[in-house]
Each structure stands twice: as structure tokens, then as C-alpha cells.
Amino acid sequence: MTMTTTLDRTTLDQLARGTHADPFAVLGRHDDGDGPYIRAVLPGAESVEAVDATSGAVVATLEELGDTGVFEGAVRGADPYRLKIRWPGGITQETADPYSFGLLLGELDLHLLGESRHFELASALGANVTSIDGVEGVRFAVWAPNAKRVAVVGDFNSWDRRRHPMRVRFPAGVWELFVPGLKAGERYKFAINGPDGAPLADKADPVAKSAESAPGTASVVAGPQTYSWTDEAWMQARAKKHEPDAPLSFYEVHLGSWLKDGRQVDWNFAIEKLVPYAAQMGFTHIELLPVAEHPFGGSWGYQPLGLFAPTGRYGPPDDFAKFVDAAHAAGVGVVVDWVPAHFPTDPHGLYRFDGTPLYEHADPREGFHTDWNTAIYNFGRREVQNFLIASGLHWLERFHVDGLRVDAVASMLYRDYSRKEGEWVPNHLGGRENLEAIGFLQHFNAVVRERVPGAITIAEESTAWPGVTRSTSEGGLGFHYKWNMGWMHDTLNYMEQNPIYRSYNHDGITFGLVYAFSEKFVLPLSHDEVVHGKGSLINKMPGDTWQKFANLRALYGLMWSHPGKKLLFMGGEIAQWREWNHDGQVDWPSIDDPAHVGVQRLVRDLNRIYAAEPALHRRDCEESGFHWVIGDDRANSVFAFRRLGNEGDPQVLVVANMTPVPRHEYRIGVPVAGRWSEIINTDSGIYGGSNVGNSGAVETAPVESHGEAQSLLLSLPPLAVIALRAG
């Protein structure tokens, strides 16, 4: 040592090695009784002085204690002071001392964190650009209650975990530090020593609002929100657009593989290309596969680690806000897929974050998905619930997102999901239900409904769990809508059958109506149906090329006329032949073929008619809005039903002929006499069909049929769906 110090050898050694757990007790300005001194840890510095913050006069010369990187010097008067540091290469840095600032998080923040009710979590934790006592910088805070020590590291300190150790705030278990002089754009992580003092791999910030693009794994300091929203009218009106009686048609998109066009795919590109396309096609919403930051692109976003950060792959957070605003200006809503079920075990992520199973269960029978090699959130831990709910609210409130589609809900609800006997732990009642996850989902949905009225939550839930869209006050999970996976499975299974065998699978179409009104459903033809060797939608269809296109058009005709909201994955609207590849793009050159253009035109017209005809959407979720006319014509594979809106709305008759044989003079009873206009015919020539139909309209005849006093004599085109409106 070159000078006398009041530090004992153990403390000095801990500071030098980066293991001291209470930096504010020894760093900064202190008085040991013989006068004030300043102490700093600055490994590699050539010299350190303290200068008066106002005059710049030197008030202390700090000398290194041996070769420890710890500098100390007696100070004469001035407070506040700044540190003037000379680094190798003639670089001089002048900065306020991080250890000259008092407590950072306020009592309200700590109270809400302690109660696990801090729903604006990103304003308290993470990295926030701020000013303290007139000094600009970044306040860092992270929840790591079992850590022995936490430091913030980044480019600003050469990723040296000795330089910026943080202060812990008990009992919240939150570590905090203000680093003067830092600005938005800085990369950073947290260097954590576990309960045993051993250093962990540097961790990305769980509440980072920005992150560097993969393969980088650092968090990035995000600046204050600067985007000026222009969507007030949309936000005021959107609640009505989301009601069960409204037409909802979702265009599901993986942005990175939608269209490349020889350009960088980013949010500005999406504004230019995707937004007008979705609007032109008549979709009410764009639904994005997860855009939260994720380390592995091949997960499509379904293994996220940055639940508060839009992925850096497509640009900065404000550009994402700009995209949402542009969609709203075009009359299109935005829904994002959100993944609160599980997370990957990358060493820089949430897994054993502070050296303990903090976010996940300790027991792998509860805390690990063998199917996906991911960790399962511990939904019974209040802080974890708070973290997840705050994440969902962040997307809805910060980015004006209109809804969250919650992924893998079934895996959350059941403790034995995809597990064999002996591989799971029953709940405290001895059952298979995950009571903690149920409580979390109910809590989440209740908070969303209270704080973000007008936004919607949608469950991807593949079982018969009762009450997914029932209110929480009635014991339900509280979602607004649920994906109807049963409809998807049964309908696709039916459509894949050769028409000659469809009479034996007639229930594939009719059975779904038994439960169609048990929940508020979305009918999904999603990305899951066109990956992993399942082939594209059109390649699922039987027959020769003409029949494949006719079958696909008929499938869409059934889907858009069936009760329930609609969802179609990109590429399906142009009958893409190829299975989806996340490294490629939609097969846009195929629309040079009239057959593909015809399918695209049909989807556009189905969206338009679905929105324009009240009978097709107003009572989507009510049994009284649907009436079977013919559900038992197995021999001919013909189905007919009526859709009804409110009183005074014209009824719509839908008839499907699922064989390649045209059926002329097919009589169907209807309750309204007079003219019935053909508003859709999937066999129309403009869609690539054979143009069999009813010349645009049919008049009823006073011939009794199907319990009605009058009837229509129709020509049913082959492998097609027609819809006729009364009046």
C-alpha cells in the first residue's frame, strides 16, 4: 500500500475482487472521525482526483491502495464533488460519483414492489434515464433477493464487475444504482454473485425496455418515450370494435418472413407494406407472432427473454409504436402473441437468475417443460405474477397494442400437461389442475379489463377447460376470446378427406356446432397448421390441382360463414403451395397465377361481406344467431344453415356442397318469401371456379320444405359454398 487506510484487509480484498456486498458503506464520501475522505474502485486508472462540482478546484487526490484498483484520499471541504479520472492513453473522464447519491427508489415503489402490485414495473426496475440533483444519468434497479452481490456492467465500465456494485433495498430484494453521465443506447447487463458468493454468468435485464439484436444478448438503455401518438380517435372507439357482436378477422404474421423485397425488414418497412396490405384485404387486425425479445430466431418468438422489449431485429421501440399508430390510422388493430407460460434456459436470461430458482419452480416436475426444454414460471410466487402482468400491461399501455393472444394456456392449466405418471406433482388438493396458474390468469385478465378497457385477451387453449371466456366473477378465466382448436382440427380433418369418403366423416363439420357457443371463439387457421411437415393449407386439400383450389375456397367459405371470429396465417390467403419457412418469405410470385389471385380475391371479399352483413357477425357468440337447415344430408355431403343478426337484419342462408358433383334443383326451405341475393359463391369464375351458381339471385316458390312454407330451388356448385341474403 502507498498510504494508510481505515479499511481492513478483508474489506479491501473484497473490493478489489468484486465480492463486497455493501458498497455504499465504504465507497463515496465518508468520515472516519479524523476527517472526511473519498474512496472509489477504479481498476486500471492512472490517477484519480476529486474536484469541486462548481469550481472545478481539486479538493482531494486519491491514491491507489497497492495494486487493488481501490483509490482513497482525504477531502478538503467540497460537497458535491466530481471524480476526475485519468485512464491509460491520455483519456480523462470527469463524472459525478455514483456513490455520492442517496436512496433511489421511493417508498411508494418499494411498497408496491413488496405488495407485488407494481404494474408499471418498467418505471421502477430496469434502466431508466433520469436526473438526480441536477445530474443526468441512468438509474438501474433489479430484483435479485437471494444474490450476495449485484453490479451493473457494460461498455461504460469495460464490463468490469468490480466497478459499479449496487445497493440492496430490504425487504424488497431490489438492487439499485445511479450511474451519472450515461445516456440512452448504452449496452448493459447485471453481474450477480449467487447466495454462496460465486459469480454467475452476466444476466440481461428482465425488465429491459430495449435489447441488442441477436446474436447479441445485452440489454440496451432505452430513452424516455418520445413518440407522439395520433390514434386518440381509434383508442376511444376500439372497445366497440372488439365486442362479441363485431366482425373480427385476424391476419397472423411472422414479420421476418412475410416479405423481404430485398430490403431490411423493420417496422418502417411494415408500415409501408404490411399495414396497407392488411387494410386492403379487409382484415380488422394484424396479429403478430411474438415480438418480445428472444435469443433464438428459430423459436419464432415463442421462447422470449425480454418480456418488456420489442425485439431489436426490427428496429427501436419507438418504431414499433409508430407501426401500431400507422395501423390504427389505416383502421387496422394490432394484436401480439404473448408468452407467459415458460422461458428458455439461456445463461444470460431468467433461469436461476440470482443463483436460485427465482422465476421458475425448483422441482423440474413443476418447473421444466421437457417438450420445449424451457423453464415454467412459478405462478404461485406473487413477484412473478407481478412481473408477468406488468409485462402484458406494458404492451397494451406503452405501445397501444389492442390485444394479447396468450400462448400455450393449456400447458399452464394442467400440472400433468405432456407428462407421464410420476413426472408431475399434484396440487394441494390432489388434483391435476394448476391452481396457481389459474389464479394468475384470472388476476391478469381482471387487471387488463380494469386498466385497459377496450383491449382484448385471447387464449390459445386446446382442451375443453370450462369457462375460459367466462368472467372471473363467475369463476371463469376472464379471457375475451378463445381459439377454437376443436373446430380447426375437425374441419381440417374433414377437408383432407377425399370427397368420396366425406359422407362417413359428416360429423367433422356438424359436431363443432354442439359447443360453438360454449365460449367466445376465434376460428384459427394458424401458423401451427403449416409447419413441421404439415404442409400448406392447399396441399392438405385432396384431388387434382383444380379440386385443391376448389376445396380451399370452400374451406374459407365455411370458415367465414361459421359462427366465430376469424384468423388466417399469412400465405394462406394466396394459397401458397410451400410450407411456411421462417427463413423465407410468403410465396408472393405465385400471385402471377390466376388461381392464386382468385383465392386472394375471395379472402378479401369474404372479409368485406363478413363485415358488411350483420347476420354474419352480430350474434357470432350466441346460439340464437345460428340455425341448422340441413345437417343430415350425408349422402350428398351438403350442409345448409342460416345466420341471423338482430331484429331487422337480413338473414343469410349458407349452403355447402362438399363433393365435386354439381347439384341442380336442390330445394331448401327458407322463412322469408321473395328474392334471395347470392352474396358469395366460392365457385365464381372471378375466384377461379367453374361459375356454377344462381345468376346472382333466386326467388322463393310457395313449396313447403324443411318446415317452411316457401323454399328456394338452388344450383349447388361443386366443392363450393354459396351464401344468399334475404331481401
Cell of 61: 487526490
Q: Which residue has the cell 410470385?
A: 589
Distance, in Å, from the CA atom of 304 to the CA atom of 313, rounded to the nearest integer, reads: 13
> What gap in Å lies between CA 102 and CA 133, rounded to an integer?
10
Q: Minimal CA–CA distance to 331: which of 445, 217, 237? A: 237
| 281, 604 contact by CB (below 8 A) | yes
For 614: left if phi > 0, alpha if psi spans -120 to 50, otherwise beta; the answer is alpha
* Phi, psi of 265, rounded to the nearest 5 degrees: -80, 115
d(CA 563, CA 470): 18
Residue 683 appears among annotated catalytic residues: no
397 has catalytic annotation: no
Q: Which of 331, 349, 327 is nearest to 399 (CA)?
A: 327
Distance, CA of 657 to CA of 680 (rounded, Å): 14
Which of 97, 160, 252, 460 is labelled catalytic?
460
Q: Fill in the amino acid letter for 471.
A: S
Q: Which of 407, 436, 605, 613 is catalytic?
A: 407
Cis peptide leading into 171, omega within 30 of 0? Answer: yes
- Cis? peptide before 589, omega within 30° of 0: no
In whole angstroms, give the CA distance from residue 486 to residue 147. 46
Measured distance CA(551)–CA(77) in Å, rounded: 86
Chain-centre distance for alpha carbon 234: 21
Within a 10 A sphere around the Cβ of 433, how many other Cβ atoms?
15
What 3 state SS string does 349-414 have?
A: CCCCCCCCCCCECCCHHHHEECCCCEEEECCCCHHHHHHHHHHHHHHHHHCCCCEEEECCHHHHHE
> Within the chain, how many helices (H) and strands (E) appear?
16, 35
DSSP 511-548: THHHHTTSS-EEEEE-GGGGSTT---HHHHS-SSHHHH
3-state secondary structure of 267: helix
The residue assigned the cell 446474436 is 215
Catalytic residues: 407, 460
